[in-house]
Copies of this chain bind each other. A is one copy, B any other.
C-alpha cells in the first residue's frame, strides 16, 4: 500500500508513477483516471478537476506504450522520406517536426537510402505495417507515389502524400501548384523580352514535372509562341542532367539557341550554371536562367538563382494536420464497427465504414511564389542584402 518514495529530483520523478498511483492518490479507480486522461465524457467535474490536479502535481505522463497496446491506438506518426540528399527534405521535415511537437504524438522517422530505394520500398512499408507501431504515415515520395502507399490507403490505413502525387489521384495529397509556379516563371522571362525560352523538364513520370511543363506551354501559348521541341529536354532533377541539357541547348545553331532557360529544379539549374561557367557564357548577360524549388543554396550560387519557391515547411505542416484529421476520423469510425474488427483494417467491413469508396481524396495545393534574383537579368540584388550588420 505504501507509495514509492518521493525523490528529490523532479526531473526523474515522473518516470515511476502509474495510473494506479494516481487513482489511489485521487481515491478513484483507474478506469476513472483513464477517462479523464482521455477526455472522455461522463466524469464528475469535481472528480475530473481533482485528478487533473494530481496528475499535474505528480508530473504524471501515461505510458504511450501501454496505452497503445491496450487501446490499439498508437501515438506515433510515421514519416517516410527519401534520402536526405534531396535538398528540400530538411525543410519539409522541419515543418513536420514542428507541427508534431505541438501535438501529443511522436515522430518516427523512416528513410529510404539508395539501397532500399526502388525494390526495398515495399519492404519498408511492410516493416512499418507489421511492427504496427505508427497510427499513420506521411510519405514524401518523389515518384509514382508507390502502389504500396495506394494499397495502404485503400485498406483504410491513414496515409498522406507530400510533393509528388499519383495520377489519377487516389491518396490524400499536399503539394505545390506546380503549373502555376512554372507559368509565373516563364511569364517573367517573357516580360523580360525573351522569346526563345528552353525548358529542362523533370522526369516526366512524375506528375509534378508534367504540370510544370504544362505551365511552361501555357505561358508560351498566351504569347502566341509555339513550343519548339528542340527547346525541351527531359532531365532527372539532378545537376548532371541539367548540365547535359545546357550543353544540348547551347550546341544549337546560333539562331536557334535559347536566350533563357527555365529549369524544372534548382539542381538542374546548377548544372546550367556549371556549364556556363565552364564555357565562359555570361549569365544573365547571354543567357537568363530560372529554377524551381528555391532550396537554400540557390541564394548563394553566383549568379544568385531566380527560382520558384515551394512552401516546403508549410507542406510538412499541412501534411501532418491532414494526417491527424484522418487518423482521428478513422478512430471515430472505429467505434461504430463491431468489436473483433476493431484492429483489423483489412476487413472489408472496415474498409466500407472508413470512407465512401468513390469520394475523391483530399488534395491541398499550395501557392508558389517567384523569387527574383540575379540569374534572370533583373537588377542585381546581393543575396546577402538581407543580412544587416549588428552594431556593436
Interface residues of A (CB under 8 A from B): 7, 9, 11-12, 14-16, 59-61, 63-66, 68-69, 74, 76, 79, 83-85, 87, 89-91, 93-94, 97-98, 101, 106-111, 113, 116, 122, 125-127, 129-133, 148, 151, 155, 239-241, 243-244, 247, 270-271, 273-274, 277-278, 296-297, 300-302, 344-346, 382, 384, 387-390, 392
Not counting A11-B122, A15-B132, a sample of 10 additional A-B residue pairs whose C-beta atoms are within 8 angstroms of each other reads: A14-B126, A61-B130, A64-B133, A65-B74, A85-B94, A97-B109, A101-B116, A240-B390, A243-B384, A271-B384
Top 8 closest pairs, chain A to chain B, by CB: A274-B384, A14-B130, A302-B302, A61-B130, A297-B297, A84-B94, A97-B111, A90-B90
Whose C-beta in chain B lies nearest to the C-beta of A129?
B15
Name the B residues within 8 Å of A90 (CB-CB).
Answer: 84, 89-90
Smallest CB gap from A155: residue in B: B12
Q: Nearest-CB distance from A104 to chain B (Å)? A: 9
Give 14 pairs: A residue, B residue, CB < 8 Å, sorted on A.
A11-B122, A11-B148, A16-B344, A64-B131, A65-B69, A83-B94, A94-B111, A97-B109, A97-B111, A106-B108, A106-B110, A240-B390, A247-B389, A270-B300
Identical copies of this chain, number: 2
Asked if residues B111 and A84 are in contact (CB atoms below 8 Å), the reply is no
Partner of A346, one of B12, B68, B85, B273: B12
Known: A107-B108, A387-B271. A278 touches B382 (CB 8 A): yes
Contacts A69-B63, A106-B108, A131-B64 given: A384-B126 contact, CB under 8 Å?
no
Asked if A392 and B244 make an inter-chain contact with CB atoms under 8 angstroms apart, the answer reads yes
Q: Which of A110, A111, A274, A387 is packed against the most chain B CB atoms within 10 Å? A: A387
Q: In whole angstroms, how far apart are the Cα atoms of A277 and B15 in the complex?
A: 55
From B69, B107, B388, A69 is in contact (CB under 8 Å) with: B69
A239 near B384 with CB under 8 A, answer yes
Contacts A15-B132, A66-B69, A94-B85 given; does A239 touch B297 at CB 8 Å: no
Q: Collect the chain B residues with CB atoms within 8 Å of residue A101's CB.
A: 111, 113, 116
- Chain B contacts of A12 at CB under 8 A? 129, 155, 346
Are B14 and A129 touching (Cβ within 8 A)?
yes
Which residues of chain B come closer than 8 Å to A107, judged between CB atoms? Answer: 108-110
Inside 8 A of A129's CB, which chain B residues have their CB? 11-12, 14-15
Contacts of A74 in B (CB 8 A): 65
Contact B130 A59 (CB under 8 A): yes
Please indicate the chain B residues that have their CB under 8 angstroms from the CB of A7 in the complex: 346
